Structures are given as C-alpha cells and as structure tokens.
Amino acid sequence: MASQIEQQVMRRLGSAEIRYTKGRRLLVQALLEADGPRSAGDLYRELKEEVPLSSIYRSLNTLSGLGILVPHHGPGGNNRFELSDWLMGHHHHLICKSCGTVDDIRLPGQTESIIEGLVGSATADKGFKASDHSFEIYGTCGDCLAEGRNEGL
Amino acid sequence: MASQIEQQVMRRLGSAEIRYTKGRRLLVQALLEADGPRSAGDLYRELKEEVPLSSIYRSLNTLSGLGILVPHHGPGGNNRFELSDWLMGHHHHLICKSCGTVDDIRLPGQTESIIEGLVGSATADKGFKASDHSFEIYGTCGDCLAEGRNEGL
DNA sequence: TTCCTTGCAAACGATTTGCATTGGA
DNA sequence: TCCAATGCAAATCGTTTGCAAGGAA
C-alpha cells in the first residue's frame, strides 16, 4: 500500500541502485504527512527517536542528492527538507517570524506564470541562467497573532 | 567623511544609546562595499582578521536587533547579513547554486507592485499577517557558466 | 568615570565522519 | 552473498557565552 508518490521515490532510488531501507521509508513517510519542511531534529522526534540522528542526516543528504528532497534554509540555524516539486507539486512558503513555523501554500497557475515572467525579466541581462525561484512570505501566523506573540515585528 | 548611510546608522545607534565603535564601523563599511549579503566568516576575512569573530557575531546581532542589518538564510550553513532596506533600498537576490555567491538585484517599481499584490492575495484567507517577502532566483552565475561548473543543475 | 564593548577561551548545538556491524537486493 | 547502509561515538563547524580588561561618551 505504498502511495503513488512513494512508488516514484522507489523507482528513482532503484534506477540509482540505492536501497529503500526502513529508515528511508519512515523518513519519506514522515515528510509526506508534513505540511511544510522539516529539520533533521524534527524528523528525529517525529519518528520517536527510533532512527538515529546520524542516519537521518545521511538519508537526508542522499535523498537530496537524488533530487527527491530539497533543502530549505530558514531562520533558526537548522536546515529543513521537503519532498521535491516533481513529487509534491510546486509551492511556496508562509514563514512565521515569531514561532518559525513554515507552511506550504499553492498559488493559482496564472500567478505562477506572472512569477515566471518576473524571473525572466530580472535575469535577462545578467548572464545568469535561472533554474528555479523561491517566493516566501514572512509575517505572523494566526496562532501567534491570537497569542499576541507578534511584538516588535 | 562618513557616508550618508553611515550617518543614518550612527543616528539609529545614538537613539538607542549604543556606541558606534571601531569594530562596528569597520563592519558597516565592509557591508556598504559588498554587493550582496556577507557571513561572519566572510567579514572576518574581509577585515583581515583584525576584528575577532566573537566581536563580529556580537555586533551582527546587536545591529540586527536595531533593524540596521537583516539576516539572510541561504545554503552553506552560515548566516549572511546585509544592510536593511531602509538604508540600502529594497532589493532581491540572484543566488548561484554552484558557487553560492549571492548578488543583489533591483526590480522596477512596477514589478514590485505586482509582487506586493501577490503577497496580499496569497495571504488573504489564511489568517496570516504578512510583513515582508523574499523573492529569490536560483541558478548558475555567469562565472560558473563560463567555467562549466553548472553540471547536474 | 561609568558602563558598554572587546578579546580570549571555553561551551554549545547542529551536522559530519570513522569504523565495525547489520541488512537489503 | 556482497556491498550499501546503519549505529555509535568522536570529530568538526558555525555560533554563543563568561569573565576580566579596555575604550567611548
């Protein structure tokens, strides 16, 4: 009963002769259930510390190398990872400056076209070959607003 | 002969009763000359190791706390800082996936208006209070393209 | 002179690595 | 079976902190 996405992951791993072990399976499943990027520490806790941190870091790196995961660099000094766009669909992030939570958001196709256009015009004369973009919105999330944790922002 | 921007920095520091010391002056000047965000280590080297790393980190933190600098979280596991928008003007980044260099780019006002509009429509129904955004373009810079360092991207 | 700031070294947290052992295809 | 992957502990790297000495207002 592996999900469709998991089967794509297995195929990608198989074609690179890399094994889909128990630890890697748990990790991919945890990221499938997540609604935003997760750090090694987050995953360690979410997997109830059954998978050692060093293995999590190693898997995170091999899966990123294969393009299955992508790192997300945010505040807080720890890297967060999520399943790549080709598995989960293209999306952007809503980042709370107060609690650090990162949520996924999807924009209408029309809006994405506008962004693609901006990427093109911004790099047109720079000799820079764009391959990707990130559009992230910072602010205060609903929970923090309710708790009054948005002082000084 | 302090630049206009430096005078604004001095005023901001003064109103918070925080001293503009030699180390802080050197740091602000290095960031003024930079064409993109710089990490503590970058600045340490650019200042010829005359200012100890611990002082650089401390100054980076106090200046960020005053809104003079803003942190930029990128690949490479080290935080980079730059002078805030109110000092340097609003801009975005061109990030090379190959060598990690980050360059500033400025978009036409009309384009910024479009981006502001996207921020509004993306957060309209989420109970999220947006305060800021980042729009960053990833790819391969001219130098790396010339050297053929864009394999596998 | 009075505190804020510095400089050094030690402490810290996140991530990586060496090496013997285990387990998947 | 055979080599990739794991688990543990030690090593590394970026960053923070305690404390005594120095420097700006």
Query: Which of B89, B117, B142 is the last residue before a domain boundary?
Result: B89
Going by their DSSP bridges, the two strands A38-39 and A69-72 should be labelled as: unpaired
A23, A51 contact by CB (below 8 A): yes
**Token duo for residue A72:** 């997300």
Q: Residues contacting strand C at CB < 7 A?
A: A 19-22, 39-41, 53-54, 57-58, 60-61, 77-79; B 17-19, 21-24, 51-52, 54-55, 58-59, 62, 77
| Same domain, yes or no: B77 and B30 | yes
Instruction: Look at chain A and report how many structural domains it folds into.
Output: 2
B100 and B59 co-located in one domain: no
Shortest CA distance from B105: residue in chain A:
A122
pTM: 0.89
Instruction: Say how far apart CA B33 and CA A133 lie, in whole Å.
Output: 26
Give the mutation candidate from B92, B121, B135, B151 for the A interface (greatest A CB count, under 10 A): B135
CA atoms within 13 A on the CB side of B73: 17
Taking CB atoms and an 8 Å limit, are B122 and A94 in contact across chains? Answer: yes
Nearest nucleotide to A21 (CA to C1') is: C24
In sequence order, the β-bridge partners of residue B139 are A130, B96
B17 and B35 part of one domain: yes
pLDDT in tens, A25-45: 999 999 999 999 999 999 999
Instruction: Report the 10 Å Cβ neighbour count for A90.
Output: 14
Residues B81 and B103 both lie in one domain: no
Task: Supply the pLDDT for residue B1.
Answer: 62
Q: Which of the listed residues B69, B89, B109 is the one where a domain comes to its end?
A: B89
Q: Which residues face A70 on adjacent strands?
A: A82
Residues A120 and A95 in one domain: yes
Last residue of a domain, one of A89, A119, A139: A89
Q: pLDDT at residue A152 above 80? A: no
CA distance A103 to B50: 42
A20 and A47 assigned to the same domain: yes
Q: Scan for tokens 């109110």, then name that residue.
A: B86
CATH number of the domain to which A115 belongs: 3.30.1490.190
pLDDT at position B54: 98
Confidence of residue B66 (pLDDT cuts 50, 70, 90): very high
Alpha carbon distance, N-terminus to C-terminus of chain B = 46
d(CA B35, CA B47): 16
Distance A34 CA to D7 C1' (A): 26
Tell whether B39 and B101 lie within a shared domain: no
The CATH number of the domain holding residue A25 is: 1.10.10.10
Top pLDDT among B60 and B78 is at B60
Instruction: Answer yes or no: do A103 and A77 share one domain.
Output: no
> Per-residue pLDDT tens for B94-132?
998 877 788 999 999 988 998 999 999 899 888 999 988
Domain of B11, in residue numbers: 1-89
Confidence of residue A82 (pLDDT cuts 50, 70, 90): very high
A5 and A76 belong to one structural domain: yes
Say yes or no for a CB contact (<8 Å) between A111 and B133: no
Mutation target to probe the B interface, by most B beta carbons within 10 A, among A116, A129, A143 is: A129
CA atoms of B151 and B132, how far apart (whole Å):
34
Residue B39 φ/ψ, nearest 5 degrees: -85, 165
Give the count of alpha carbons within 13 A of B8, CB side only. Answer: 15
Pairing of strands B129-140, B102-105: unpaired
- The pLDDT value recorded for residue B153 is 52
